[in-house]
Amino acid sequence: MLGFDKKAARWTWTAAIVLLLLRAIYEIRETLFVLVIAVLFAYMLTPLVNMVNRFLPGKSRAPGLAITYLLLVTTLVVLGIEIGTTVAEEATSLIARGPEFFRNLQGSHVNITLPHYLEELKGNLLGRIQGLLQAHSNDILGYIPSAGLKLLSFSGYLLFVVLVPIISFFLLKDGPAIRDSLVSLAPAGPRRDMWVNILQDTNVLLGQYVRAMGLLCLATFIVFSIVFSVFGVPYAILLAAIAFPLEFIPMVGPLTAAIIIIVVTAASGYPNLLAVVIFLGVYRLFQDYVLSPRVMSSGIELHPLMVILGVLAGEKLGGVPGMFLSVPAIALVRVFYRRMVIAVAGAPAVTELHEQSAPARPPVESA
């Protein structure tokens, strides 16, 4: 006899709502990405806002935010004039000499001095590279104009560049109210406590991650600019500027930056290419095993296998933005999972993040 099963209907209705929610998230993924970038940008500015507010009377955060944004705009203008001009000039020169560089890579030998027992290996490797370039040179040269048009098409994203600081301003200003509103959605009791702990862990985690990545990227730009300039590498500031944002993408970004630097340096006819290759290898070891562990909390560390799989999955799901957000997304999933386990088991609410940092504060307000 057929009948109406309320439990089956409830599960079906829940599954339908979840699928519709996932579909809606996919449709507005670009907007959500802008929101995520705004949140990360707010965490980046939080220490400066807190420092400014310590010297201002009253409890309002608006004056401190206004001063912080004024300092930020002033700094960006100065850097844009000093560094941006050099980067633009070098980029223009590099684009103008693009066909010449490809011909150099195809027809000439790259000047790398190696021990005699490695010269044969070098010859075979360069021969393969030159063969690939000769086979696909027409395709590469034909792609340059279309690549320029695609670059111009990204000008539409300038609106998002303007929106990110605006959204971050409101997040920094109204962070406590946003936190309280999110917490109030859960009923009072253990479930609300669990969500409070998740928000606290998220606050600490994102604060540590964003500031650590900012320091690592800044260190990469400064070191590359100085070393390449001292070595006399062509387009030194431009290459450092390219490596700066790529440092945000785990593993793939630094590797891509290294390949770009080596290719541009070789195509420019730089005589000491081996020194550049050695420097890139030494700096990567220093970055991964000395500098990064010091600025990145152990609460954020993930197994390299998880990072690789996360980056690959992020690229499939969201392209470059997905790769950029893969590591913090995996770390947040781990935080959520641990808090769920603690809530189910009834264990004391203590995690690695709380043990290694100061008492957690409301999201976005401070970290």
Overall average pLDDT of the 76-85 stretch: 80
Residue 84 lies in a domain: yes
Are 205 and 349 in the same domain? yes
Any residues with CB less than 8 A from the CB of 276 and at least 6 apart, and which? 228, 231, 233, 261, 262, 265, 270
Are 89 and 210 in the same domain? no
pLDDT in tens, 186-233: 777 777 888 888 888 888 888 888 888 888 899 999 999 999 999 999
Are 201 and 141 in the same domain? no
Final residue of a structural domain among 173, 205, 233: 173
CA dist 29 and 49 (Å) reads 29
Are 314 and 202 in the same domain? yes
Residue 23 lies in a domain: no
Residue 1 lies in a domain: no
Structural domain including 251 reads 192-362
pLDDT in tens, 280-336: 999 998 888 888 777 765 556 666 677 777 777 887 777 777 777 888 888 888 888
Tell me what pLDDT residue 133 has.
Answer: 53
CA dist 216 and 210 (Å) reads 10
Cα separations (Å) of 38 from 43, 152, 323? 9, 24, 17
Tell me what pLDDT residue 239 has.
Answer: 92
Tell me what pLDDT residue 182 has.
Answer: 79
Final residue of a structural domain among 123, 140, 173: 173
Overall average pLDDT of the 108-121 stretch: 50
pLDDT in tens, 117-147: 445 555 555 556 555 555 555 555 454 444 4
Tell me what pLDDT residue 299 has.
Answer: 52
Whether residue 25 is predicted with pLDDT greater than 70 in this model: the reply is yes
Are 215 and 329 in the same domain? yes
Residue 24 lies in a domain: no
Tell me what pLDDT residue 28 has.
Answer: 83
Domain count, the chain: 2
Tell me what pLDDT residue 367 has.
Answer: 39
Tell me what pLDDT residue 281 has.
Answer: 92
Are 197 and 230 in the same domain? yes
Are 166 and 255 in the same domain? no
Rounded to a whole number of angstroms, the distance between the first and last alpha carbons of the chain is 60
Tell me what pLDDT residue 5 has.
Answer: 65
Whether residue 47 is predicted with pLDDT greater than 90 in this model: the reply is no
Are 73 and 160 in the same domain? yes
Q: What is the mean pLDDT of the chain?
A: 75
Tell me what pLDDT residue 152 has.
Answer: 43
Residue 209 lies in a domain: yes
Tell me what pLDDT residue 120 has.
Answer: 53
Structure tokens at 257: 């930056």
94 confidence band (pLDDT: 50, 70, 90): confident
Final residue of a structural domain among 130, 146, 173: 173
Are 104 and 230 in the same domain? no
Closest-CA residue to 67 (of 82, 52, 79): 52
350 confidence band (pLDDT: 50, 70, 90): very low
Residue 305 lies in a domain: yes
Overall average pLDDT of the 174-181 stretch: 81
- Do residues 113 and 277 lie in contact, with contact meaning Cβ atoms separated by under 8 Å? no
Are 146 and 228 in the same domain? no
Tell me what pLDDT residue 356 has.
Answer: 45
CA dist 41 and 170 (Å) reads 12
Residue 81 lies in a domain: yes
Residue 104 lies in a domain: yes
Tell me what pLDDT residue 151 has.
Answer: 45
Any residues with CB less than 8 A from the CB of 161 and at least 6 apart, and which? none
- Cα angle, residue 55 at apex, residues 54 and 56 outer, rounded to 5°: 95
Are 154 and 223 in the same domain? no
Are 151 and 296 in the same domain? no
